[in-house]
């Protein structure tokens, strides 16, 4: 039996079916990330687990106990919100200990738990400050500390980094990963950022329109996506998806002989840029993004038949280039690195180098 189990969970808002029969099992100590585009239902699903949104159908079990209709305060879960939700008139220590004080926990125990959480989160020197005296990253750490002192069975994070700037997001992401390793706590984390999902998760749950598209480790989803949606959602830049009818020569370049009617997918790092006149495909550079360690080259490739539109293919290489927009180039595809999808976006076959 899994630690947290969702069976046929549904949520309706009038005629809208926001969550459509979710089945999911989370193991004890696992870090699971819900990821998907805006409106896919990931935050709604998290709130249903937390008890903040009512479950209309299905069941929810935690550690062998049915908690489907249990009040949120009785579920032994702790949630960290996107907006921090700190009391502005309270000190950091008081914010972190508030739930324990409401529960009439012994003052010595409270002090010990707050001190321990502050040490883990590097907040010891800020315990007597109020939230307005802290940076955004420090406020988010206080919100995490408030969850830690409760010692819940499951930590729930609802897009906790979205209000931080890029540098703080990276730093806090590392802190959350370190925190999970130290505490060994079961964690469910919601984000729209697939980089967060790839770097934090033991398993990623990809959601779309209230249903699960695929569940797996980050690299399983990257190398073996179940469908075209997952293939393009996981990975930055996203997978090149080309209509096989629009660019028949891509199938030949990818080593796909007589490709079925549908779409061919190739990761940007598996596209090799060569000098003009060489390579299986001929292209013209549209844009070069020099990122320092990586370079992204966007090239337009002629469809090869009358009236056909140009097809854009993105190549990713870990070396710098002198190419400029308008330059002609040749393109090759790393052998056996393609994914084939049918017209409905379902995976037909996949090859990961």
> Which run of H or E residues covers position 173?
helix 166-183
d(CA 253, CA 226): 23
- Mapped onto helix, strand or coil, the DSSP state of residue 58 is strand
Task: Report the predicted TM-score, pTM, of the whole model to 2 decimal places.
Answer: 0.88
- Mapped onto helix, strand or coil, the DSSP state of residue 156 is strand
For residue 87, report the phi and psi dihedrals to the nearest 5 degrees.
Answer: -80, 115
**How many helices (DSSP H) and strands (DSSP E) are in the chain?**
9, 19
Q: Give the DSSP letter string of 32-76.
A: EEEE-STTSSHHHHHHHHHTSS---EEEEEETTEE-TTS-GGGS-
The reported pLDDT for the residue numbered 48 is 96
Low-confidence ranges of the chain (pLDDT < 50): 353
Domains contained in the chain, CATH given: 4-226 (3.40.50.300), 237-350 (2.40.50.140)
Q: DSSP secondary-structure letter at 227? A: B
The reported pLDDT for the residue numbered 352 is 52
* β-sheet bridge partners, residue 66: 61
The reported pLDDT for the residue numbered 89 is 93
* β-sheet bridge partners, residue 59: 7
Structural contact between residues 301 and 311, judged by C-beta atoms closer than 8 angstroms: yes
Structural contact between residues 341 and 348, judged by C-beta atoms closer than 8 angstroms: yes
């Amino acid at each position: 039996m899994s630690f947290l189990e969702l069976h046929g969970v549904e949520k309706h808002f009038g005629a809208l079916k926001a969550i459509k029969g979710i089945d999911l099992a989370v193991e004890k100590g696992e870090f699971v990330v819900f990821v998907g585009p805006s409106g896919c239902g990931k935050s709604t699903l998290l709130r249903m687990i937390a008890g903040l949104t009512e479950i209309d159908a299905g069941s929810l079990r935690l550690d062998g106990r049915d908690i489907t209709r249990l009040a949120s305060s009785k579920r032994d879960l702790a949630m960290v919100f996107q907006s921090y939700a700190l009391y502005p008139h309270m000190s950091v220590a008081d914010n972190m200990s508030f739930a324990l004080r409401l529960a009439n926990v012994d003052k010595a125990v409270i002090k010990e738990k707050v001190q321990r959480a502050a040490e883990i989160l590097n907040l010891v020197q800020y315990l007597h400050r109020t939230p307005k005296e802290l940076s955004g990253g420090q406020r988010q750490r206080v919100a995490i500390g408030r969850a830690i002192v409760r010692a819940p069975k499951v930590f729930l994070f609802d897009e906790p980094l979205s209000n931080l700037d890029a540098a703080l997001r990276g730093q806090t992401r590392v802190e959350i990963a370190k925190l999970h390793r130290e505490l060994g706590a079961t964690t469910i984390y919601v984000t729209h950022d697939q980089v967060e999902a790839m770097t934090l998760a033991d398993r990623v749950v990809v959601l779309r329109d209230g249903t699960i598209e695929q569940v797996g480790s980050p690299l399983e989803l990257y190398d073996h996506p179940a469908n075209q949606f997952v293939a393009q959602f996981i990975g930055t830049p996203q997978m090149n998806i080309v209509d096989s009818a629009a660019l028949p020569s891509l199938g030949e370049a990818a080593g796909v002989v007589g490709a079925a009617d549908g779409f061919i997918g190739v990761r940007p790092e598996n596209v090799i840029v060569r000098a003009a006149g060489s390579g299986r495909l001929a292209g013209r550079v549209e844009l070069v993004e020099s990122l320092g360690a990586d370079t992204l080259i966007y090239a337009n490739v002629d469809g090869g038949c009358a009236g056909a539109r140009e097809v854009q293919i993105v190549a990713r290489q870990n070396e710098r280039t002198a190419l400029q927009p308008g330059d002609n180039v040749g393109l090759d595809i790393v052998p056996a690195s393609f994914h084939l999808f049918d017209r409905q976006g379902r995976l037909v076959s996949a090859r990961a180098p």
